[in-house]
Amino acid sequence: MRNKIFKNYPNVILSLSKDDRKSEVTLRQAQCDNLRPASTYFDQGGQAQCDNVILSLSKDDRIEKSHFDRLSVTKVFNLSVILFLLFFTSILSAQPKFSEMSVKPGAFSRMGFGPRGIGMGNGLSALTEGNLVAYYNPASSVFQEGNSFQTGYSFLSLDRALNFLNFTRKFEFRSSKAENLGRPASVAGISAGIINSGVSKIDGRDNNGLKTKELSTSENLFFLAVANKFSEKFALGLTVKFYYYKLYEDITSTGVGFDIGAIYKFNENFNVSFMLVDLNSKYKWDTSPIYGQQGLSSENEFPLLKKIGIRYNNPQNKFLLVAEFENSNVGTNILKFGGEYNIYDGLFLRAGVDQFNLSNGDWAVKPAAGFSYLYNLDGYLIGIDYAFMLEPYSSSDRHIIGVNFNF
């Protein structure tokens, strides 16, 4: 299964001589047998290449091919993280200005999915490398290599829970004609997942201030996405989302919403994406079981988000950058950006910025950073992920850990 991705070589290698190609392919095959990369990059023809260090090239060749060496990239990465932290920490004392987004339901569903996405600032809608999840774009599942299984657990202040579970894979359908060309006739993808959140240890009190009981809530998002690759350059996907909120005793609400996403690959380096998030998503409440005649029937609509994303991938230097602009129908215009750098075999560093609201300078910007380490165990890739995100005004910041499997 894994060897299928090496049947066709990236375009960049076609410029080399036949012998060079042979030797490089041999080496790349050997390295990829040792370590399955976390980010299996694709060229514009949809062909994958292993992102391991190309040992067949001389040092000089590597320098010539690269715009920066590993050390310089590391320095830039570290400096960026430090600058982010210093800059954004310095503005936390500013007086916050209200934005309607903060009183829209489903805040948990806009906090990101898993350590990888959160570590890159959550602007992943154009990403097509590595472990993918329809949360960021349902169209991305057609680019998933192997079977990707991801889990995540968040350490949040004030007894908040935020947990992730996802499975993504693609399906290649071949015709005899296509088989002759070595390419699938069509590619589809699915991605299914859960985001579980909630708050526990809520201090229940009556109108005299007396303790009643400890309260807790549970808010969940179940999603299933399907996608189709209409050409080597274009993929489109749809996510069906089911929200379930258990708020208090018998008071619950459910909602069904949709995401639509598209990805267009300009070339090997650039992808663009477009997303519509939370079409039709809403909570409906009826509190008459608690309050009787004074109960209230209400409906709270989720904000409709429109996203445009871009991804720049530089496989030669083993880094990628993502950025996303998110507009909502409640007046926010949010910028998200981040990057990932494969600093060492199996080790990926990440940094990003989330919630840079162009419409509200007081909106709490949330810088993030993280890493992943992947290990090949008998053909199975096992990864450990971690992300850290600043959370202004809270009592502590966010820490997200995760495990991913690719098989």
Partner 1 sequence: MKKIFLFLFIIILSNINFSQVTNYKVGELDDRLNKSSSLNPTSNTIIDIIAIGDTIWLGTSRGVSVSFDKGETWTNFYGRSDFGTDNISAIGYDTYTRTFWCATAKSQEVTGGQTLPAGSGLKYTNDFGNTWNSIPQPVDGQNDNQIQYGINNLSALPVTVTVQNLCYDIAFTPNTIWIATFAGGLRRSTDNGQTWQRVVLPPDNKNSIAPTDTLDFCLAPVGGSFCSVGNLNHRVFSVIALNDSTVLVGTANGINKTTNANYANPSWVKFNHQNQDNPISGNFITALAYNNTSNTIWASTWKAEDPNEFYGVSFSSDGGLNWQTTLYDERPHNFAFKFAQPIVLTDNGAFRSTDFGQTWILPNSIVDNQTGAQLRSNVFYSAAVTGNYIFLGSDDGLARLKENIGSVWEGEWKVYLSSQPLNSDEEVYCYPNPFSPRQELLKFRYSTNGQEEKVTIRIYDFAFNYVATVIQNASRITDNEGAPDFWNGKDDNGNYVPNGVYFYRIEIGDKDPLFGKILVLQ
Q: Does 65 bind partner 1 (CB under 8 A)?
A: no
Residues near 137 by Cβ (< 8 Å), separated by ≥ 6?
Answer: 124, 125, 126, 127, 237, 261, 262, 263, 273, 275, 309
Q: Give the N- to C-terminal CA distance of the chain in Å, as an integer.
A: 9
Give least dist CB 58 to partner 1, A: 50
Give least dist CB 337 to partner 1, A: 19
User: Site for partner 1 (CB under 8 A): which residue of 243, 283, 337, 348?
Assistant: 283
Q: Toward partner 1, which CB reaches closer, 197 or 220?
A: 197
Q: Toward partner 1, which CB reaches closer, 3 or 297?
A: 297
Q: Toward partner 1, which CB reaches closer, 232 or 391?
A: 391
What does 265-331 look like in DSSP terms, one character per residue?
E-SSSEEEEEEEEEET-EEEEE-HHHHGGG--EEEEEPPPEEEEEEEEEETTTTEEEEEEEEEETTS
Q: Toward partner 1, which CB reaches closer, 76 or 202?
A: 202
Among 19-27, 51-59, 126-134, 287-295, the segment contacting partner 1 (CB under 8 A) = 287-295
Helix (H) or strand (E) holding 180: helix 176-181
User: Site for partner 1 (CB under 8 A): which residue of 157, 254, 280, 333?
Assistant: 157
Q: Does 288 bind partner 1 (CB under 8 A)?
A: no
User: Site for partner 1 (CB under 8 A): which residue of 66, 80, 163, 300?
Assistant: 300
Give least dist CB 259 to partner 1, A: 19
Q: Does 246 bind partner 1 (CB under 8 A)?
A: no
Q: Does 211 bind partner 1 (CB under 8 A)?
A: yes
| 190, two tokens | 């699915």
Q: Does 248 bind partner 1 (CB under 8 A)?
A: yes
Residue that the structure tokens 């992300």 belong to: 387
Q: Does 395 bind partner 1 (CB under 8 A)?
A: yes
Q: Does 197 bind partner 1 (CB under 8 A)?
A: yes
Q: Toward partner 1, which CB reaches closer, 12 or 158?
A: 158
> Closest by alpha carbon to 111, among 255, 299, 119?
119
Q: Count the residues in the chain.
A: 407
41 with 47: CB under 8 angstroms?
no
> Closest by alpha carbon to 198, among 219, 168, 174?
219
- Binding pattern to partner 1, positions 91-130, x when CB under 8 A? -----xxxxxxxxxx-xx-xx-------------------
Give least dist CB 70 to partner 1, A: 36
Among 230-238, 259-267, 378-386, 388-396, the segment contacting partner 1 (CB under 8 A) = 388-396
The span from the CA of 45 to the CA of 47, in Å, is: 5
Among 83-91, 243-251, 258-266, 372-380, the segment contacting partner 1 (CB under 8 A) = 243-251
CB-side exposure of 288: number of CA atoms within 13 Å? 5
Give least dist CB 218 to partner 1, A: 11
Number of residues that bind partner 1 (CB under 8 A): 59
Give least dist CB 159 to partner 1, A: 8
Q: Does 17 bind partner 1 (CB under 8 A)?
A: no
- Relative to beta strand 347-357, strand 380-389 is unpaired
- Binding pattern to partner 1, positions 356-375, x when CB under 8 A? ------xxx-----------
Q: Toward partner 1, which CB reaches closer, 3 or 395?
A: 395
Phi, psi of 123 (to 5 degrees): -100, 55
- Bridge partners, 328 (sequence order): 305
381 with 36: CB under 8 angstroms?
yes
Q: Does 304 bind partner 1 (CB under 8 A)?
A: no
The span from the CA of 143 to the CA of 170, in Å, is: 7
Q: Toward partner 1, which CB reaches closer, 285 or 407?
A: 285
Helix and strand numbers (H, E) in the chain are: 6, 18
Residues from 212 through 241 that contact partner 1 (CB under 8 A): 212-213, 215, 217, 219
CA distances to 246, 251, 297 from 293, rounded to whole Å, are 21, 15, 11
Residues in contact with partner 1 by the rule CB under 8 A: 96-105, 107-108, 110-111, 157-160, 197, 199, 201-213, 215, 217, 219, 245, 247-248, 251, 253, 283, 285, 287, 290-292, 294, 296, 298, 300, 362-364, 391-395
